Amino acid sequence: MSAMDQDTGMFKVQQTIGSVLCCKCGVPMPPNAANMCVNCLRSEVDITEGLQKSIQIFYCPECGCYLQPPKTWIKAQWESKELLTFCIKRLKNLNKVKLKNAEFVWTEPHSKRIKVKLTVQAEVLNGAVLEQSYPVEYTVRDNLCESCSRFQANPDQWVASVQLRQHVSHRRTFFYLEQLILRHDAASRAIRIQQVDQGIDFFFGNKSHANSFIEFLRKVVPIEYRQDQQLVSHDVKSSLYNYKYTYSVKICPICREDLICLPSKVASGLGNLGPLVVCTKVSDNITILDPRTLRCAFLDARQYFRSGFRSALTSRQLVKYFVFDVEAPVGEATVGGQKYALSYVQIARESDIGKMFYVQTHLGHILKSGDQALGYDIYSANVNDDEMEKYRLSVKNGLPEAILIKKCYDEQRERKKGKPRAFTTKKLPMEMDESRGARVDPEKMENEYEEFLRDLEENPELRFNISLYKNKDYQESETASMTDGEGAPTVPIEELLAELELSEEEEEGNDEEDMDE
Amino acid sequence: MATRLQFENNCEVGVFSKLTNAYCLVAIGGSENFYSAFESELADVIPIVKTSLGGTRIIGRLCAGNKNGLLVPHTTTDQELQHLRNSLPDQVVVQRIEERLSALGNCIACNDHVALAHTDLDKETEEIIADVLGVEVFRQTIAGNILVGSYCALSNRGGIVHPHTSVEDLDELSTLLQVPLVAGTVNRGSEVIGAGMTVNDWTAFCGSDTTATELSVIDSIFKLREAQPSSIVDEMRKSLIDTYV
């Protein structure tokens, strides 16, 4: 059936709205609830009565923040959405009317006035809803916010400082820590970082920042710390005390590749681990390996600092050995992800090739005859360690003549001497401590840093937690170590991160370097 | 010519008075100014009767009448009824009706020939209205409101209705009532016309809040200015957007 409009069945007459005269001015208009034309209604009723039309706000010219009393400072740009929200929030009584629209009216930026035009709606008379817009003027007054004024008074103002110290003669740990901190952004909130003789000082503006930094440190190195505070000022009326907090953090002095003679108590506590042990890894635990039995033990910070033993020989005292003969391994073990093989080797010191030693070593899996190795020369060393002396006297066969620690790649490095590495590292913005006199020898620092970089190349597990960046200047050399049998270990290119360069693209090395043991 | 006045500082004159062509009822208890306003207009022409209905003063809204008769609600006391019968001219029939909707002034709008009634009025009441008042009764709504007596003011020469009445409704009512109608307001935009003013064939009384515009509309639709030269009347016609039937 075709299209007869079937609605609800009701026949509706079309209703045209007539017009009436406005009761005030007589102009014809469609009828509304007030029966007055809009102009007359506007002249009768002012819905903006009682609303704030001018108000004062405070602005900090240093950091560009506006004050929301009593204490919050809100950062906002000139004529931004945040500023508009802030301005509207400052108006009282605005909940009596409905806010329809708000916008900025242009004012000269130097005039210190902000004008906002608000459009509000409210009900008037008998149900008629009237809309009206009106301007609100804000007078901007300059007032430094608390943090800026404190900063102005004393720019170096710190509230908490962390004094990180390790009482050893080298700075390897600090180089490594520096890379770790950069990777994890742990010192991003430090106001200042200062390098001192045996450590680094970090200054923070907030006690909690210092606390979180110490928590980070605790996860990566074994530390012991104490906290002290100094009263700076005291408000008698409100009983508020302002302190400066100082955290004195000591990193344990045992480092990788150190030779340690454990005190008898500690050794027996660890299951009679041979008192001569080598430290293989330091993270939040210290891993020590007995080279004779290939047993490992872990000491965490608390355990270490309970006994507080020091290493007998450190990596400074490593001596180069030539390896003449490596016998078949008598035992193998995989400890903590690292493979070790116990075997006997014939070695001689580089300085005194005539004197041969026949010793046991845990590096049987990587040494071959003709290699060079680094180790501790216990035979001729004059060790200043009580425990070592006690052990020497107690044991009847005498101490082992040498303990090899790692393979030496000096020969291979000779070939690459002078060529830049494939990777670079970033540095923390540290100040040098000039006040203590020129104790720091720049050449020594260079050498130490070079050794640290070599360490990184040789140990993939060290690289695990740090970021290395591609060196833009490095170019693949044609006469690569492909032609020689063995190259020095380097960082494979897939481990390197490209630095964020917004302008140019960098050349990428085409081939990978071999990773050799 | 329409007059502006107040009853005890209240502008709703149609609540406290009832004006027809034969008589005028006013509420008791007001100041003498109220009565003198009526008397100055109406003194020798028609009787002005002070009364109450059911003990209340809102007589304009409780009763409905024209020159033929007066209908009062069942709440009217016997004394009041007797007083009315005594004071009013003899040809005016005063009748008390039993009706659930007792505010007859709100429910019935009438002139001497035709009446509009509340849609829910009893059948008997309708018959009594037709009988006593001598009018033709139409059940209607005005702008969707069933209280026809409140939202319109009617005389034999014209009428004002609720301002929201649509053009079609206006035409329809005008046809029924056979008088020109206009949608307008009284008392500065009040829509309750019947309560705001009271009118007969030659005079009208509105609340003092009534603006000049409203007053001119009242004057022209009820033709209260017969003495005026016609050119001015024509001008008034032009400024009015409404159609006359």
B168:A15 CB<8 A: yes
Establish if B72 belongs to a structural domain.
Answer: yes
B54 confidence band (pLDDT: 50, 70, 90): very high
Q: CA–CA separation, A59 vs A74, rounded Å?
A: 9
Q: Which chain B residue has its CA at the smallest distance from A29's CA?
A: B241
Q: Which residues of B touch A20 (CB under 8 A)?
A: 163, 183-185
Phi/psi-derived region of residue A485, left when phi > 0, alpha when psi is between -120 and 50, beta in every other case? alpha
Q: Return the pLDDT at B206.
A: 93
State the smallest CA–CA distance between residue B68 and chain A in angstroms: 33
Q: Return the pLDDT at A481.
A: 40
B134 confidence band (pLDDT: 50, 70, 90): very high
Q: Return the pLDDT at B101.
A: 92
Residues of chain A with pLDDT under 70: 1-8, 125, 155-156, 416-419, 433-440, 472-488, 499-517
Optimal mutation site among A15, A19, A22, A23, interface B, most CBs of chain B within 10 A = A23
Q: Is the pLDDT of residue B228 over 70?
A: no
Q: CA–CA separation, A471 vs A181, rounded Å?
A: 20
Establish if B173 belongs to a structural domain.
Answer: yes
Q: Return the pLDDT at A410.
A: 77
Type and span of the H or E element at A299: strand A295-300
Q: Return the pLDDT at A195.
A: 87
A353 touches chain B (CB under 8 A): no
Q: What is the pLDDT of residues B95-104, one digit of tens each?
A: 999 999 999 9
State the smallest CA–CA distance between residue A22 and chain B in angstroms: 8
Count of all residues that appear for chain A in the document = 517
Establish if B59 belongs to a structural domain.
Answer: yes
Per the CB < 8 A criterion, the answer to whether A100 and A131 are in contact is: yes
- Residues 2-21 in A contacting B (C-alpha not used; CB under 8 Å): 13-21
Q: Which residues of B touch A35 (CB under 8 A)?
A: 163, 185, 189-191
- pTM equals 0.52
Per the CB < 8 A criterion, the answer to whether B209 and A125 are in contact is: no
Q: CA–CA separation, B20 vs A204, rounded Å?
A: 94
Per the CB < 8 A criterion, the answer to whether B238 and B77 are in contact is: no
Structural domain containing residue B200: 2-228
Per the CB < 8 A criterion, the answer to whether A458 and A485 are in contact is: no
A20:B170 CB<8 A: no
State the smallest CA–CA distance between residue A118 and chain B in angstroms: 29
Among the partner-chain residues A13, A17, A23, the one whose CB lies closest to the CB of B185 is: A23
Residue spans per domain, chain A:
1-44, 45-146, 259-408
- Closest by CA to A70, choosing from A58, A80, A81, is A58
In three-state secondary structure terms, B59 is helix
- Residue with the bigger pLDDT between A438 and B42: it is B42
Establish if B201 belongs to a structural domain.
Answer: yes
Establish if B236 belongs to a structural domain.
Answer: no
A35:B191 CB<8 A: yes
B166:A16 CB<8 A: yes
Establish if B197 belongs to a structural domain.
Answer: yes
- Residue with the bigger pLDDT between B16 and A64: it is B16
- Residue with the bigger pLDDT between A173 and B233: it is A173
Per the CB < 8 A criterion, the answer to whether A346 and A357 are in contact is: yes
Q: Return the pLDDT at B230.
A: 44
Per the CB < 8 A criterion, the answer to whether A180 and A465 are in contact is: yes
Establish if B18 belongs to a structural domain.
Answer: yes
Q: CA–CA separation, A79 vs A354, rounded Å?
A: 85
Block residue for tokens 């020095």: A488
Establish if B44 belongs to a structural domain.
Answer: yes
Q: Which residues of B touch A16 (CB under 8 A)?
A: 166-168
- CA dihedral of A199, A204, A209, A214, whole degrees rounded to 10: 10
Q: What is the pLDDT of residues A359-391, one digit of tens each?
A: 889 888 888 888 889 898 888 888 888 888 888
Angle at which helices A442-458 and A172-184 cross, to 10°:
70
Q: Is the pLDDT of residue B53 over 80?
A: yes
Q: Please give the ipTM for the structure prediction.
A: 0.74
- Closest by CA to B202, choosing from B88, B46, B34, is B46
Q: What is the pLDDT of residues A233-291, one digit of tens each?
A: 888 898 888 889 999 999 999 988 899 999 888 888 888 888 889 998 888 889 999 98
Q: CA–CA separation, B38 vs B4, rounded Å?
A: 11
Structural domain count, chain B: 1
Q: Return the pLDDT at A501.
A: 55
Number of CB atoms found within 10 A of residue A444's CB: 11
Q: Return the pLDDT at A250.
A: 93
Q: What DSSP designation does B82 have?
A: H
Tell me whether strands B159-161 and B181-183 are parallel, antiparallel or unpaired: parallel
Helix count (H) and strand count (E) of chain B? 11, 15
Q: CA–CA separation, A84 vs A82, rounded Å?
A: 5
Q: How far is CA A479 from CA A415, A475, A492, in A?
A: 11, 12, 18
Edge-to-edge, what's the strand order for the sheet holding B108-110?
B108-110, B114-117, B136-139
